[in-house]
Amino acid sequence: GDSVTQMEGPVTLSEEAFLTINCTYTATGYPSLFWYVQYPGEGLQLLLKATKADDKGSNKGFEATYRKETTSFHLEKGSVQVSDSAVYFCALSGWQGGKLIFGQGTELSVKP
Amino acid sequence: DADVTQTPRNRITKTGKRIMLECSQTKGHDRMYWYRQDPGLGLRLIYYSFDVKDINKGEISDGYSVSRQAQAKFSLSLESAIPNQTALYFCATGTGGRNEQFFGPGTRLTVL
C-alpha cells in the first residue's frame, strides 16, 4: 500500500540556518503531496502542497518540489526562525477515497 | 470562529469507561475523518465518512465506533477505554479526491 517515510528527528538548528527535511513516498498512480505543520499545543495546519510532478509548493519561506523520478518531496527553508519550531508531517493523498497517509513526523527545534 | 471544532480538548478517564469525542465543522465538506496521533507514529486513520450514510473503517478501528449525526457532526466513541488508547485525537474534513484535509485542534485523551 501507499506509504510515506520522513527523516527522523528531532532536528535542532540555530536561527538563520538552512533547513532540509527529507520525505520519500511509495504510491500507485499520481498522488498529491502535502506538508503539514503542528505548532506546540495546536492542530495540524497545511503548510504547502503539490499535485503533480515537478510542481513546487511554497509558503512562509518553505518550499518543496514534487519529484516523481526520486519519489521525494523534501521540505526546505533558507533561513529558519525560532518561530518555525514545530513538528512537520509529510503526507500523500492517492486514489484511496481521499485518505491521507502520513509520515511519522519530524520535530524541529530552532535555537536563538 | 474555527472551521473545525472538537470537544472536549482534554479528557482524563479510567479504564473501562465509555468516552465520546465530538467534532463539528462549518466548512460544508461532505467527508470527515478521525485520526489518532502517537509519538513517532504520525497520524493513523481510525474511521472516515463520505456522507451521513457512509461510514468506513480505517487502519486502526478496533476498540472504536463512530456516528455521523449530520453532515457537520462526526463523533468518535471508545466503548470501554483502555490505557493504550491514550493519545491525541484529531478530526478532519475534506472534499475527497487528492485534496487536502482541514484539521481540528485535537483532543488529548488520557486513560488511567
Write the pLDDT tens digit of every residue in B67-76: 999 999 999 9
Residue whose C-alpha cell reads 517515510 in the numeric block: A5
User: Does residue B94 sit at the A interface (CB-CB below 8 Å)?
Assistant: yes
pLDDT beyond 90 at B109? yes
Confidence label for A96 from pLDDT (cuts 50, 70 and 90): low
Q: DSSP state, A67?
A: B
B42 to A31: CB separation less than 8 angstroms, yes or no: no
Phi/psi for A58 (5° steps) reads: -150, 150
Measure B81 CA to nearest chain A CA, in Å.
23
Which residues fall within 8 angstroms of residue A46, CB to CB, at 6 or more apart? A34, A35, A36, B100, B102
Query: Which residues in chain B are closer than 8 Å to A95, comparing Cβ atoms?
Result: 98
- What pLDDT, on the 0 to 100 scale, is given for residue A46? 95
B98 to A100: CB separation less than 8 angstroms, yes or no: no
Query: Which residues in chain B are closer than 8 Å to A42, comparing Cβ atoms?
Result: 105-106
The grid cell for B45 is 486513520
> In this structure, is the dihedral angle defined by the CA atoms of residues B81, B85, B88 and B89, taken in order, positive or negative?
negative
User: Does residue A60 sit at the B interface (CB-CB below 8 Å)?
Assistant: no
Confidence label for A90 from pLDDT (cuts 50, 70 and 90): very high
Measure B10 CA to nearest chain A CA, in Å.
11
- What pLDDT, on the 0 to 100 scale, is given for residue B22? 98
Measure A45 CA to nearest chain B CA, in Å.
7
- What pLDDT, on the 0 to 100 scale, is given for residue B1? 58
Give pLDDT tens digits for A3-59: 999 988 899 999 999 999 999 999 988 899 999 999 988 889 999 999 999 999 999
- What pLDDT, on the 0 to 100 scale, is given for residue B28? 92
B96 to A42: CB separation less than 8 angstroms, yes or no: no
Tell me which chain A residue has its CA closest to the CA of residue B49.
A97
Measure B80 CA to nearest chain A CA, in Å.
26
Which residues fall within 8 angstroms of residue A13, CB to CB, at 6 or more apart? A19, A80, A108, A109, A110, A111
Give pLDDT tens digits for B18-41: 999 999 999 999 999 999 999 888
Confidence label for B16 from pLDDT (cuts 50, 70 and 90): very high
> Pick the residue with more confidence: A110 or A8?
A110
- What pLDDT, on the 0 to 100 scale, is given for residue A97? 62
Phi/psi for A103 (5° steps) reads: -75, 180
Distance CA B29, CA A101 (A): 19
Query: Which residues in chain B are closer than 8 Å to A45, comparing Cβ atoms?
Result: 103
Give pLDDT tens digits for B48-69: 999 999 999 998 999 999 999 9
CB distance A72 to A55 below 8 Å: no
- What pLDDT, on the 0 to 100 scale, is given for residue B18? 96
Count of residues for chain A? 112
CA torsion angle for A78, A83, A88, A94 (degrees, to 10)?
-80
Of the candidates A105, A101, A25, A96, the one whose C-alpha atom is nearest the C-alpha of residue A67 is A25
Give pLDDT tens digits for B79-107: 999 999 999 999 999 987 778 899 999 99
